[in-house]
């Protein structure tokens, strides 16, 4: 009996140890990248410049970049033991508001600041204003749940009509025309969109407005404007909704599509062949973006209606928004060190494995220079 009790105790302790290891692994990586973050952490630690960074660095915003932030924060804190990075994925709109209220050191947003937000930032940034720093290329996937239908092809017009409630069945003639060899079911379409203000929504609807203006007549913006459909909170909520609902479709970052093993549609953009979503096809579209910001701001203008071969048009760029000058002295060293790391070659190198598109070299160089000049 005593031996049995000892064996049972050993088994129980072993189970607890295994469980603890899994929890630590999950909390440490949180990047849905198949465990690659652990390797990147040790590989990049020596390249991270901590300078005088210390204390707690608070930031919030885009859920699109949350997986990247989890990996970056882990790597940075492993190298700079005196800093605690706390990034909250509350959505782009909420993140901007928290920054403009002075409660965070920087915000993450999938859309650049609007003119009125830029003006408001002057109240937070002493004798200056905020600047948009492009940081993460986020391919936006059209995710769907339709067993037996792989390689679905859509175009801008059909996509607009689906999300506007004009196409309600998967065997609709418009979808059949784009997929002549597919066995499309008569399943009802359940289209998922974001509940809260979202930069992902803003960029997705910019694509619909640019590529299908006759079928998408809404003004656009961070708030969803079309009628009907299902709403879900955050990028993770949309991914979960589509995954759990047969016949569903939604728009979400590629990183969430990859992590949840969701089907992604191809796009007929008018190029020589339907474009498949990859980090490379997204980078090709982002590389064509033009910097349109002024006075140190690096906001980009993207071509959502591109017909270039191999260019995926539904992309977003997540910006880190910080004060150009007038940052809080207590957190300025940590802000510059952390932003400097994530914009570095090492920081950007962690993105591709997670389903993000690294910054094009010419844009990354300007971002690093802007971060060096923060004061």
Is 167's pLDDT higher than 80? yes
pLDDT digits (tens, 9 = 90+) for 179-206: 999 999 999 999 999 999 998 999 999 9
Confidence of residue 14 (pLDDT cuts 50, 70, 90): very low
Beta-bridge partners for 60 = 88, 107
The tens digit of pLDDT for each residue in 295-313 reads 999 999 999 999 999 999 9
State the pTM of this model: 0.76
Kindly indicate whether the domain formed by 37-138+317-372 is annotated with CATH number 3.30.565.10: no
pLDDT at 274 (0 to 100): 98
Say what angle helices 2-29 and 36-44 make with each other, to 10 degrees. Answer: 70
Q: Is the pLDDT of residue 20 over 50?
A: no
Tokens of 197: 């203000």
Strand 290-291 with 315-323, pairing: unpaired
The superfamily in CATH containing domain 140-286 is Periplasmic binding protein-like II (3.40.190.10)
Of 16-30, 167-181, 316-330, 356-370, which gets the smallest average pLDDT?
16-30
Instruction: List pLDDT tens digits, range 244-270.
Output: 999 999 999 998 999 999 999 999 999
Which backbone phi and psi does 232 adopt, to 5 degrees? -145, 145
Return d(Cα 243, Cα 327) in angstroms, integer: 42
What pLDDT is attached to residue 17?
34
| Of the ranges 29-33, 91-95, 130-134, the best mean pLDDT one | 130-134
In order, the DSSP letters of 321-332 are EEESS---TTTH
- For 79-119, the DSSP string reads H-TTEEEEEEE--HHHHHHHHHTT-SSEEEESSPPPHHHHH
First-residue to last-residue Cα distance in the chain = 70
Does the pLDDT at position 342 exceed 70?
A: yes
Per-residue pLDDT at 4: 40
Contact 311, 271 (CB under 8 A): yes
Q: In DSSP terms, which residues pair with 57 in a beta bridge?
A: 85
In the predicted model, what is the mean pLDDT of residues 339-364?
94
pLDDT in tens, 277-287: 999 999 899 98
Distance of CA 354 to the CA centre of its chain: 10
| Two structure tokens written together for 183 | 């066995």
For the chain, give the mean pLDDT.
Answer: 89
Helical (H) or strand (E) element with 305: none
Q: How many CA atoms lie within 13 A of 316 on its CB side?
A: 31
The whole-number pLDDT of residue 44 equals 52
Structure tokens given for 289: 């973006």
Evaluate if residue 99 carries a pLDDT over 60: yes
Annotated domain spans of the chain: 37-138+317-372, 140-286
Grade residue 45 by pLDDT with cuts at 50, 70 and 90: low
On the question of a common fold for 37-138+317-372 and 140-286, the answer reads yes
Q: What is the pLDDT of residue 355?
A: 86
């Amino acid at each position: 009996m005593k031996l049995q009790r000892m064996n049972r105790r050993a088994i129980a302790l072993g189970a607890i140890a295994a469980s603890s290891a899994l929890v630590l692994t999950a909390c440490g990586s949180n990047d849905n990248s198949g465990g690659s973050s652990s390797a990147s952490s040790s590989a990049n630690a020596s390249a991270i410049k901590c300078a005088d960074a210390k204390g707690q660095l608070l930031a919030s915003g885009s859920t699109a970049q949350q997986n990247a932030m989890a990996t970056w924060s882990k790597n940075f804190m492993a190298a700079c033991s005196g800093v605690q990075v706390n990034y909250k994925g509350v959505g782009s709109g909420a993140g901007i508001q928290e920054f403009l209220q002075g409660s965070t050191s920087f915000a993450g947003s999938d859309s650049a600041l609007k003119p009125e937000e830029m003006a408001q930032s002057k109240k937070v940034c002493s004798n200056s204003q905020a600047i948009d720093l492009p940081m993460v290329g986020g391919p936006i996937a059209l995710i769907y749940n339709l067993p037996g239908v792989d390689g679905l092809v859509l175009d801008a017009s059909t996509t607009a009509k689906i999300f506007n409630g004009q196409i309600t069945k998967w065997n609709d003639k418009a979808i059949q025309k784009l997929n002549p060899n597919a066995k499309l079911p008569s399943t009802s379409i359940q289209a998922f969109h974001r509940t809260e203000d979202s930069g992902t929504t803003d960029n997705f609807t910019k694509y619909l407005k640019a590529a299908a203006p006759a079928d998408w007549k809404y003004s656009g913006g961070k708030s969803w404007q079309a009628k009907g459909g299902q709403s879900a909170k955050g990028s993770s909520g949309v991914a979960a909704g589509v995954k759990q609902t047969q016949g569903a479709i939604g728009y979400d970052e590629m990183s969430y599509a990859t992590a949840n093993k969701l089907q992604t549609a191809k796009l007929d953009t008018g190029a020589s062949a339907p474009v498949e979503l990859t980090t490379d096809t997204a980078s090709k579209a982002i590389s064509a973006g033009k910097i349109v910001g002024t006075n140190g701001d690096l906001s980009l203008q993207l071509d959502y209606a591109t017909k270039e071969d191999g260019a995926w048009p539904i992309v977003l760029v997540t910006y880190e928004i910080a004060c150009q000058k007038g940052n809080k002295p207590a957190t300025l060293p940590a802000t510059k060190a952390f932003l400097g790391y994530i914009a570095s070659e090492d920081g950007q190198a962690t993105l591709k494995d997670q389903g993000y598109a690294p910054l094009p070299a010419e844009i990354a160089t300007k971002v690093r220079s802007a971060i060096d000049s923060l004061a």
